[in-house]
Amino acid sequence: MGRPERRRVAVTGLGVVSAAGIGIEAYFEGLCSAAPVGDRRVTGFDPNDHFDSPKEARRSDPYTQFLVAAADQALGQAGDIEADPTRCGAMIGTGVGGITTLEQQIGVFQEKGPRRVSPFLVPMMMA
């Protein structure tokens, strides 16, 4: 078995939503600054800026909100690209998606029972 064929790719835009910063420049500055003390959380982030409706944003786990915002940033950086849409894609990385929603709904299950668990549990955990 030979080596797989290597293909050329072009990275046309990047986006990041992180406790270290929102946007590439703020993120880099955050990485280069002194190490924080205690927990870090994403601050100054409004998911409604990146969704078609507030309802859609509410029904998304924070990780999905961050993902959509980062994708918006990357597309904004890329600008108008004239390319075959069947040859374009996006790389998304996550360790565990939707864990915030899962944790909240486990609490609902334990305190109020299974009938009170959101019917949107699974869709909210998926991107």
Integer Cα distance of 110 and 114 in angstroms:
8
pLDDT for 126 equals: 73
All structural domains of the chain with their residue ranges: 17-93
- Per-residue pLDDT tens for 65-77? 999 999 999 988 9
Spell out where the chain has E strands.
17-18, 21-22
Angle made by CA atoms 103, 107, 108, in degrees to the nearest 5: 115
CB atoms within 10 A of CB 28: 13
- Per-residue pLDDT tens for 21-68? 999 999 999 999 988 888 888 999 999 999 999 999 998 889 889 999
